[in-house]
Structure 1
């Protein structure tokens, strides 16, 4: 082994890791893009749909659609379509195939939109992505912190974690920020369900290059495992 061998090995590993990172970004983008495509087709036929249910078969990685649902302002749910009965408005088999592809990898970015069904054993719920992900995050955050401007998000683990929140300092003029509020075990920023929804949407923003460039600023590395998420102003939503 020559003196240059360790350097060559280190360079090779660096390039390999960079290639893996780039591949994972492209794959995540594709998975979320397929999810958006499926959601757009469903909403074109059934505009009020907020989520769907399905059964996932872990061995084959295939799925069967069960139903489309709408959630009202009061939280009440109503079934829009029994997918097992079929509909002439959509090719449900094709939708199931597209979702199967998006969710084929158990680490797929599209799984961020999925949660267990609380009543049907073995069933899952897929929340259709919001049209304006950043705007929805801003609404969720400002329901608890009305002047929120920035979130610090840690994408190291899945789900992502909101580390802190910065708000406009309304006691000062100009663009002054108040001291950030940290998320602590004994003092969370908001309820657990709000945290879940924000983490899901933030992960989807990170997977889509045009949204990532618009709303996320990496603060630790080019990979952006930690990033500042800039919330749109109320006039932009």
Structure 2
């Protein structure tokens, strides 16, 4: 037998392994979305879960926290686990046992760590705990708000997605403007020293994390991302366009 010949199942097995990883990403993100929806049903301002993992690998919930109210502000504690039955009403419709079980499911692997939603605890004294970032309720609207914070007349974002093992790499191409113009987003690999981008690099990382999640969830990808014509041959991969929601001009006028 020719030693250079591949086993008939070798390539399909590699494809299956990739599909298995991608399915795991989708499943864990979907469970995280469901967790976030249930937590926000009880605590609408929830942005973070303070969690710990004991010696047996069991997840413990130490608190539900709001987002930081300002650049110099702090998060507010919305829920603190307790044993006082007179305070059970604070939990609202939240089933804590079910929540902890689901957290244990998604934290057993490394998928959420790759998405950057599991962070070290911000307080050093509790460094043995973890800070779980709840995903935005509307990822497309969140991306639009971030981009328009730097490019006010942005109408859409054109980018690429590349599936690399357990990660989805996001490459930005252009921001389209309401007047018909465009702003190119320099590629960090092609122009590593450039500072001409429409937003700082830390913003690119934040956008890439949210967009990668959106792309990994098929129902969100089909709803918000549209394949578009390749406008440049410098990079491989399909281009996708995320069209931003219309602005509420009346609301903006009232608040200004």
Residue 42 of structure 2: aligned partner: 45
The answer (yes or no) to whether the contact 1:52–1:67 under 8 Å persists in 2 is: yes
Q: Of residues 212, 221, 227 in structure 2, which corresponds to 1:212?
A: 221
Query: 1:135 touches 1:232 (CA, 8 Å); kept in 2?
Result: no
Q: Is the 8 A contact 1:169 1:177 kept in 2?
A: yes
Instruction: Specify the alignment match of 1:125 in structure 2.
Output: 131
Rounded to whole Å, the distance in 1 between the matches of 2:30 and 2:77 is 26
SS of match in other structure, 2:109? coil
| Distance of 1:128 and 1:150 partners within structure 2 | 25
Counterpart-to-counterpart distance in 2, 1:31 and 1:20? 17
Aligned-pair CA distance for 1:16: 0.5
Q: Which runs of 5+ in 1 are unaligned?
A: 220-224
1:162 to partner: Cα distance? 4.7
Of stretches 112-121 and 189-198 in structure 1, the one that deviates more from structure 2 is 189-198
Find the residue that maps to 1:105 and give its secondary structure. coil
Determine the C-alpha separation between the residues in 2 that align with 1:29 and 1:209. Answer: 8
**Does 1:63 pair with 2:79?**
no
Q: Cα–Cα, structure 1 residues 143 and 154, in superposed 2: closer, same or farther, change >3 Å?
A: farther
Partners of 1:198 and 1:85 lie apart in 2 by 40
Map 1:1-237; keep pairs closer than 5 Å: 1=1, 3=2, 6-9=4-7, 11-57=8-54, 60-71=56-67, 73-75=69-71, 76=73, 77-83=75-81, 87-88=88-89, 89=91, 90-108=94-112, 112-119=116-123, 120-146=126-152, 147=154, 149-153=157-161, 156=164, 162-168=170-176, 174=180, 177-183=182-188, 184-185=192-193, 187=195, 190-191=199-200, 193-214=202-223, 215=225, 217=227, 228-235=239-246
C-alpha root-mean-square deviation of aligned residues, in Å? 3.3
- Does the residue aligned with 1:130 lie in a helix, a strand or coil? coil
Q: State TM-score, norm by structure 1.
A: 0.77
Q: Greater CA deviation, 136-145 or 40-49?
A: 136-145
Q: Deviations over 1:56-98 (max 9, x none)?
A: 34x6443211111112552532111113557452332321110
**SS of residue in 1 equivalent to 2:97:** helix
Gaps of 5+ in 2: 231-235, 249-256
CA apart distance, 1:232: 2.4
Cα pair 2:140 2:244 within 8 Å, conserved: no
Q: TM-score, normalised by structure 2?
A: 0.72
What's the secondary structure of 1:80's corresponding residue?
Answer: strand
**Contact 2:18 2:165 (C-alpha < 8 Å) held by counterparts:** no
- CA-to-aligned-CA distance 1:173-214 (integer Å, 9 cap, x gap): 65x544443344552653455334323212221321122334
What secondary structure, in the 3-state scheme, does the structure 2 residue paired with 1:51 have? strand
State how far apart, in whole Å, the 2-side matches of 1:42 and 1:95 are: 8
| Superposed displacement of residue 161, structure 1 | 5.3
